[in-house]
Structure 1
Amino acid sequence: MFKRLTKAALAACVILPSIAAAGDLDEMTPEQLLPLAQKEGSVTIFSLSSRIAKIEKAFEETYPGVDLIGLDMSSTKQIARLEAEQQAGIHAVDVLYIADTPVVFTKLLQAKRVSNYVPPRVTGEIDDRYKVPLLAQRLSTKVLMYNEAAFPNGSPINNLWQLTDPEWRGRVLMVDPSQRGELLDLLTEIALHSDEMSKAYQAHFGKEIEVDPDVQGAGEQFIKDLFANDLILVPNSDVLNKSIGDINAKEPPVGFGTYSDRRDNKKEGWALQVANKVEPANGILFPAILTIADKAPHPAAARLLIDFMFGDDTPSGGPGFEPFNVPGDYATRETIAGHPDSVKLEDLQAWTIDPQKTAAARGRIADLIITLQ
C-alpha cells in the first residue's frame, strides 16, 4: 500500500503543474505552450481542407515532439462525428477546422461542445467580427465557377437567372447540399435575398417575376426553377471541378464551387475561373473557423496549432498560412497580404453570410430541396 501511495503521490506531483497551468493556457505565448504541448505529445484536428497535410508537415518541423494528426472531413461529417463521440463520452479530437457556421454556432457552441480561443499573438490584427463568437482564420467561398479555356472572353453567365434558361438545362453543377452544409447555406442565402433576385429576374427576362404559390419570394422561385432545369448534384468537389474545369472540354458546364480550387489548375489540367460579374451575386463568402473541442485531450497543443495556422509575420503568412494564401481565400489576419492573382475581397461580388439569419431560414430551404430532388 505504501508503494501504491508513493506512486500516486509522485504522479500527482507530475500532473498538478499541468493542471495549474491549464487555466492560463489562453494567455500563453507559443514559447510557453511548447513544452506543455511536447509533454502531451500530439494534437488531432478535423479539417474541412485537404491542405491540412501541408500544415501537418510544417507544424511538426516547427515544433518537434508534437505529432499532428490531421483528418480531412467535411463540416457536415465533423459536426455529426463530434456530437456522436461526445454523447458517448469520447473526447478524442482537439481542434475543429470547420465551416457551416449556422450549425456550428447553434448546435455546437450553444451546447458547449466547442469553445473559442484567440491566440494573444494575433488578436490585435483581427477584426472583432472574426473573433466572436468563434475565431475565423479565413473567408472561403461557394461561388459560380466556369471554364476559362472554353470561354476565353469571360464568364458565359452574368445573371443567376440564366442558369434557369433552356440553354443551361443539365449544364449546372453543385455538390449535393444535403451532404455539404456550405451549399445549403448558399441556397439559403439566395432565398434570403429575395428583393435582389426579383430585380435580377426583371433585368434578365424584362418582366416582373410571378412567384408560385408553394414558394416564398424570388429566391425560392430561383431554387425551384434551377432544380426544374435539371440541376446536376454531384457527390464531391473533385467531381465538380473536373467536370467544369477540364481544359480540353468543348461545352463544359458551370457550377457552384470553391474559388480557391483554382490553385490546382496546373496540376490537374483544369481551367477553373470565378464568374465574378454576376447579378445579383455570384455566391457566398463564409468563415472557416478554428475552435477547440470540449475536453480536448491535448489543450496546450491545440492552442499551439491554432496559433501556428494564423501564420508568421511575413506578408504571405509563412508555412503556417501559405497553403491557404491562394487565389480565392481571404485571410482574416490583416497583416497577411491577399494573393496577387485573386479578385480583391472588396471586389468579389459575393454575399457574406449572416450565420444567425441563415440558421433560422435553412430548415425551410432544406425541406424545399427535398421536395425538388
Structure 2
Amino acid sequence: MKSLLQSVAVVALGALALPALTLSALAADMDKKSPEELLDAAKAEGQVVVYSFTSRIKKVEAAFEEAYPEIDLVGYDISSTEQITRLQAEHQAGVANADVVYISDAPVVFDKLLGAGIIGPYVPPRVADRVPAEFKNPLLAQRLSTKVLMYNEQSHPDGPPVSNLWELTTAPWKGRVVMVDPLQRGDYLDLMTEIVLQSDAMAAAYEAQFGKTIALASGVNNAGEQFIADLFANDVILVGSTDDVNAAVGKLGQSNPPIGFTSYSDRRDNAEEGWALQLANSVEPSPGIVFPAVLGIAEGAKNPAAARLVIDFLMGDESETGGAGFKPFYVPGDYATRTDIVPHPDAVPLSEFAAWRVNPEKTATIRAEVADLVLTLQ
C-alpha cells in the first residue's frame, strides 16, 4: 500500500517532489508489475493519452474503456512523421502531452526519439517471454506493418497485372502508379530507401525484365536509385494519404485502374469502402517492405501506470487471436510479434510473404540521401 501511495503521489505532483533517481527507480518498479498490480494506480491517474500512427486507435480506445471504465483513453491519430516533429517540439518545450507513443518509421524513431530520451522502452512482463528478442529491443514491436504494391483484384481476377517492379517504369504504366509522397510520410520514404538498399536484387530484376544489364544514368549510383528515377520520370502520382491510394487503386467498377503502394492490411476495409485491393505478392524482386509498429512511453509521462496498462492491452489477451486489445490489428496484412497469436487465416503467411524486412539501422544510414534524390526528382 505504501508503494502504491508513493506512485500516486508521483502522478499528482510530477517531478517536483522527487529527484530523477527516485523517479527512475519507481519507473523500474512499475515495469515489473502485472496489469492487476498497475490497476489501482492507473485508476487514480484516471486518464491516458496515446499518440498513434493508425486511426485504429479509436477502436482500441473503445475496447480499453470497456475493459477499464475508470480510465479515459484519449487517442490521437497522428502520422509517424507528424508525431516525431510534435514530440521533439514538446520535449524541447519541457512539455509531456503524450503518455504512450504508438509509431512506425523505426529508423528515425530509434535515433531521434529513443536516442534523444524523448521516449523510453517498456515490455509488459506478462508477454515478455512470447515476443522474440528482435521485437523487444530497442523498443517493443506490437506487430509488423507493410507498404507494398497492391492492385484491383476485381479488374484483374487472374492476379497482379505486373510481374516485375520494373514494369512500373514502362509506357503502359505511365501516370498509373500511385503512392503517398515519400517526403510527407516516413514509411514511404523507408520503402524508397529499401529499394536502394536492395540494388543488387533490383539489378537482377531489371535484367530479367528487359533481357540486358542495367545501364545507369549519369549521377545515378545503383539500380535502386535508377528505378526511383525511372518511376518518377514515368509520372508516378503522389497523393496525400494512404486512403487516397486505396481509393484510386481499389475502387470497384474500374476497367483500367492504376496500381499503387499502400498497406496490405487496408484490405480489411474492402467491403466497407467498396474497394477490391489485393496484394501483388508474386511481383519480382519484392512487392515492398514489412516493418515494425513500435510502442514506447513518453519521457515525463503524466500517467505512467495507465500508460503501461495500455501497452499491455495493445499486446493482446491470453486468447489465440489476442482478444479485444489486438482485434483491430488481427487482420490480413498485419503480423503479430507475439509467437502465440495465431496467424490470420486470410493472410499470406509471413514465411511466404515476399516483402523485404526493413533493418532500421541500415535504413537510417542512407535515408537522408534517398530523400534528397526524391526531392530532386519532384
1:110 — aligned with what? 115
| Contact residue 11 and residue 302 of structure 2 kept, 8 A | no
Aligned residues: 363
Number of the residue aligned with 1:143: 148
> Which residue is equivalent to 1:195?
200
Aligned equivalent of 2:79, options 39, 64, 74:
74
Question: 4+ residue stretches of structure 1 with deviation over 6 A?
Answer: 11-14, 16-20
- Pairing 1:15–2:20 present: no
- Find the counterpart in structure 1 of residue 175 from structure 2: 170
Deviations 1:276-327 (A, max 9, x none): 0011110000000011111111000000000000111111100000110000
How large is the Cα RMSD of the aligned pairs? 1.5
Q: 2:282 is paired with a residue of what secondary structure?
A: coil
Q: Does the Cα contact within 8 Å between 2:101 and 2:298 map onto a contact in 1?
A: yes
Q: Cα distance 1:13–1:252, how it changes in 2: closer, same or farther (>3 A)?
A: closer
In structure 1, the residue corresponding to 2:338 is in which secondary structure?
A: coil
Q: Does the CA contact (< 8 Å) of 2:11 and 2:303 recur in 1?
A: no
Distance change >3 Å, CA 25–CA 229, structure 1 → 2:
same
Deviation, structure 1 residue 64 = 1.8
Distance 1:325 1:15 in 2: 38
With over 3 angstroms needed to count, the CA separation of the structure-2 counterparts of 1:17 and 1:208, relative to structure 1, is closer
Q: Does 1:339 align with 2:333?
A: no
Structure 2 vs 1, CA of residues 86 and 202 (structure 1 numbering), >3 Å: closer, same or farther? same
**Which residue is equivalent to 1:267?**
272
Q: Cα distance, 1:22 vs. partner?
A: 4.0
State yes or no: 1:252 paired with 2:219.
no
Q: Deviations over 1:212-236 (max 9, x none)?
A: 1211100000000000000000000
Contact 2:11/2:45 (CA < 8 Å) preserved in 1? Answer: no
1:55 aligns with 2:60: yes
Deviations 1:121-175 (A, max 9, x none): 0000000000000100000000000000000000011100000010000000000
CA–CA separation in structure 2 for the residues paired with 1:22 and 1:241: 42
Q: Percent identity?
A: 57
Partner of 2:321: 316
Give the conservation status (yes or no) of the 8 Å contact 2:267–2:332: yes
Task: Tell me, in whole angstroms, the C-alpha distance in 2 between the residues paired with 1:284 and 1:249.
Answer: 27
List runs of 5+ in structure 2 lacking aligned partners: 13-22
> Shift of the alpha carbon at 1:370?
0.6
Q: Please say if 1:29 is aligned against 2:62.
A: no
Scaled by the length of structure 1, what TM-score is found? 0.95
57 and 187 in structure 1: CA distance in 2 versus 1, 3 angstrom threshold: same
148, 166, 186: which one aligns with 1:181: 186
How far does the alpha carbon of each residue in 1:76-135 deviate from its partner, in whole angstroms, 9 at most, with x for none?
A: 000000001111111110011100000001111111111000000000000000000010
Residues in 1 aligned to 2:226 and 2:6: alpha-carbon distance in whole angstroms: 64
Amino acid in the other structure paired with 1:110: G
TM-score in terms of structure 2 length: 0.94
The aligned amino acid for 1:284 is I
Amino acid at match of 2:9: I
Give 1:13 deviation, angstroms: 11
Residue 23 of structure 1: how far off its partner (Å): 3.9
1:14 positional shift: 6.7
Q: Which amino acid aligns with 2:328?
A: P
Asked if the contact 2:8–2:45 (Cα under 8 Å) also holds between the matched residues in 1, the reply is: no
Give yes or no for contact 2:189–2:371 (8 Å, CA) kept in 1: yes
- Is residue 306 of structure 1 aligned with residue 311 of structure 2? yes
DSSP-derived class of the 2:111 partner: helix
**What residue number does 2:17 align with?**
none
Q: For 2:286, which of 273, 281, 290 is the aligned residue?
A: 281
Match of 2:359 in 1: 354
Alignment CA distance shift 1:14-1:271 (3 Å): closer
Q: Give the AA of the match of 1:15.
A: A
Q: Structure 1 residues 204 and 69, CA, compared in 2 at 3 Å: closer, same or farther?
A: same
Contact 2:180 2:242 in 1 (8 A): yes
Question: What is the CA–CA distance in structure 1 between the aligned matches of 2:141 and 2:229, rounded to whole Å?
Answer: 32
In 2, Cα distance between the equivalents of 1:151 and 1:61?
A: 42
Please tell me the residue identity of whatever aligns with 2:220: V
